[in-house]
Amino acid sequence: MTKPKRSIDFSAIDTYRDNIAQSEPLKSLSPLEPVNDLPINQLDPAPWNARRYFDSEQIKLLGQDMLENGQIHAIMVRPTENGRFEVVVGERRLRAAQVAGMPTLKANIRQLTNREARRIGLSENLQRQDLNDYEETIGWLDLLSVELEPLPEFKLLCQQNNDIRVVVAKILNRYQNEFRGKTKIYNNVIVNPNHFIMGSPIESKILEVFQNSHHITWESFVTNRLPILSLPQDLLDVMQRGELEYTKAKELSKIKDPKTRADLLERVLQLSLPLTQIKTLVSQAQKALTPAPPPSFPKLRPRVQTIAKQIDTLPAKKRQQAEALLNQLERLFST
């Protein structure tokens, strides 16, 4: 069963418009401690890492390289509890070391809050070019939620929906609509009473986050990345594993029948089919799934009108036969 969509009341933000509380900037981060050799069995991956999928073969190769050539770059960790450490930057190296059987990893220890750790880890991962489209989309939504978290307007919207990523996505879509929408000019000042994102601290944070990116803008993200979240779950699962590009997944999503889509998806993955061939197969599948049009009949209205005029001229016996046939027609339309 499809879950009902919960709308977000953006007009509630107007409550804060006249007297808005600005978010407090993050305090200066604690300095890096000297590099330490930490036991592998005391290191835990962070639950918020932007990278969801790790290629087992690539991890194995990296581990072998670390064994032969040593660890070039230290990972960054923060102390948690019971003498353990959470990996803020470097989960891929942690996994490689585990596979290779290395006893320790070189690590920089830093005292970080949850928000600081998420901010550093997500920012570092999003600057990489090897995240797949799904990971990148989720990573940006998570980073935006970290930056928007202190704002009272954002907290208000989060009270209306528990899924923070959904809230951020709706904010971005709303912002784009406002950005592209019609405005009114009064006394040479642009006025639009429906602008709840533009001109607010939320807009400032969105622009600030994407200004630090060298390969994507907020407009590009909303147009080319957010639609990923509306894809069917079977396609999202494959994208998350890095086995299917967004352009191919988008084309496959045009097939609404789950069984047909699953069969074609399996074929695409097995044969590594290019996008042009996928488009052809999708078109063929859509035609096969389209029900045949009902058989066409000659236009009956003129015939019925002609018969209606002739009934009164029939002799009594034929008129009785005609009335019996009309009764059959009436019963046909009533069932």
In the numeric block, which tokens belong to residue 311?
């009934």
SS3 call for 140: helix
Contact 13, 153 (CB under 8 A): yes
Which residue in 86, 91, 116, 153 is the catalytic one? 91
| Residue 251 falls in the annotated catalytic set | no
Query: Contact at 8 Å (CB) between 174 and 235?
Result: no
Angle at 178 between CA 172 and CA 168, to 5 degrees: 15
**Distance between CA 219 and CA 317 in Å, rounded?**
79
DSSP annotation string for 153-187? HHHHHHTT-S-HHHHHHHHHHHHHHHHHS--EEET
Provide CB contacts within 8 A for 324, sequence distance 6+.
none
First-to-last alpha carbon distance for the chain, in angstroms, is 32
Q: Which of 208, 133, 225, 136 is nearest to 173 (CA)?
A: 225
Active site residues: 91
